[in-house]
Amino acid sequence: MGGSVTASASAEMSLHACLNGTTFKIQSLKLGPIPPTGSSSPLVFHKCKTPLPVPRPIKCKAHSTSATVQTSPSTIKALDEKGGKPQWKATIDFKWIKDNKEAVAVNLRNRNSDANLDLVLHLYDKMFNLQKEVERVRGERNAVANKMKGKIEPSERQRLIEEGKNLKESLIALEEDLVKLNDELQQEAQRIPNTTHPDVPIGGEDFSTIRKMVGSCPEFSFPVKDHLQLGKEHDLFDFDAAAEVSGSKFYYLKNEAVLLEMALLNWTLSEVMKRGFTPLTTPEIVRSSVVEKCGFQPRANNTQVYSIDDSDQCLIGTAEIPVGGLHMDSILADSLLPLKYVAFSHCFRTEAGAAGTATRGLYRVHQFSKIEMFIFCRPEESEYYHEELIKIEEEIFSSLGLHFKTLDMASEDLGAPAYRKFDVEAWMPGLERFGEISSASNCTDYQSRRLGIRYRPSEAPVISAKKSKGNVAPTKFVHTLNATACAVPRMIICLLENYQQEDGSVLIPEPLRPFMGGLTMIARKS
């Protein structure tokens, strides 16, 4: 990310479209200056470089994230016995876990986690004792080596040679055991979820509490249609052709639905950029280790992730993953924090196990477009930025005139990375219920400990009698937060169903009209 964009940079775009035989020009869209990130300093960070993989044919299959996350900020290129998966180790504070085992146990119960705390503690104690044994044998071997430096009898030298040889063999065996034990400890410990905010409701999804209710249900004096009926009448979707081409839960958008997607994306992007976020597009194929480092562990046997055969790569389910990996294995300058990004990407999900009426049409699909917000910040600021993210979401959905509620999600619905999570559910008249359209999560240092993202505080230098490199303050892990600004398919559902008219037309919300060439409604086809 070495380049920079000047404050005077701007772009202009215009588009011609043809609907129902009428050609019109979509209003020129001017992208203003990219808002500053809060500092005029160039982005400075240190990054570990790894060689690029050899390109391979892409063959996708469902990939289970049930394999627990394995390793640390720095990726260790050791290969496992079963076929070459890179190992990595997270920076987990095992001493803290041991010293707070009662609190950790309660947290596991509250989250309904299957992590085995007793096994983690047993492996940690075993590794601690084995490490001491390794150090003892290494010390004995060094002592034998030192004895051989002086003048000694030949018989004594031969005895020391044999003793040193035996100690070397013992040390090699112990170190191999230590490596295996450390890998096993990492595998088990990384199943332990993040800690939980004290205000989070305890229990399953039904125990989630309402933080805010905005607007009211729209009243209709005519039979309400769902988005599938409206899409058919206006020729907006083609699920049948997509099923033949790609399979179930894929779709073609057509006519005004295409303009609506583009309008939602461009309007949302411009709104979030006004609030100081830097725009990104991201890779949509990432290493499986990055998916794991972001904490995407399974809640059941079903998986949401597509993997690529014969590779260590996956399709992303959210831009949170590649944006989280943007500063992987880095030490960020304190003056640059917070780093705020707003990313566009396509997202791919298997939606395994999904069933029921709530999966019809666009509600639950395998591929969709999304705008995601992501923040790297100092630990003491993450709760403040969590509130900022949910406020941005609420402002966006209020501007579109939606009736929605914001929920403080219960402990069992947080997922492994989140310390606290707010969901937004909007009223969908066709479903006659609220449906989730967004979420905002504070992941504290759960992801940064796995991704290896630190910063060095700019406070006064550490005063120490011992000389060190400048006596600078030690590094700390950043906190990470993510939030959905716009998930296109569900937003299209909300807009079509809430803005439908008695004559069959659908009004376009005013904020989106400049991004749709001035269209004010989707008129019925003749």
List the catalytic residues: 349, 364, 436, 439, 490
| Residue 319: exposure state from Cβ atoms within 10 A (0-12, 13-18, ≥19) | buried
DSSP 23: E
Q: What is the secondary structure of 223-263 as a DSSP string?
A: PPP-HHHHHHHHT-EEHHHHHHHT-TT--EE-THHHHHHHH
Give the dihedral of Cα atoms 285, 341, 33, 28; nearest 10 deg: 50
Please give the angle made by the CA atoms of 43, 48 and 50, to the nearest 5 degrees: 125
Beta pairing class for 339-348 and 278-281? parallel
Which are the contacts of 327, defined by CB distance < 8 A and separation ≥ 6? 45, 47, 339, 376, 451, 453
Dihedral sign of CA atoms 456, 459, 465, 467 in order: positive
In the block, which residue shows the tokens 């998986």?
303
At position 134, the amino acid (one-letter code) is V
What type of residue is 165? K
* All residues at 6 or more sequence positions from 143 whose CB lies less than 8 Å from its CB, including other chains: none
Residues contacting residue 255 through CB under 8 Å, at least 6 positions apart: 19, 234, 235, 236
Give alpha helix (H) positions in 306-379.
320-324
What is the rounded distance in angstroms from the CA atom of residue 296 to the CA atom of residue 325? 13
Distance of CA 414 to the CA centre of its chain: 13
175 near 194, Cβ under 8 Å?
Answer: no
Q: Number of helices (H) and strands (E) in the chain: give both, helices first.
A: 12, 23
Q: Which two tokens stand for residue 500?
A: 């439908």
- Note the helical H segments in 282-434: 288-293, 320-324, 382-399
Up-side HSE of residue 33: CA atoms within 13 Å toward CB? 7
Strands 453-456 and 476-477: antiparallel
User: Side by side, which strands form the sheet with 404-408?
Assistant: 209-214, 404-408, 420-428, 433-442, 479-487, 367-377, 339-348, 278-281
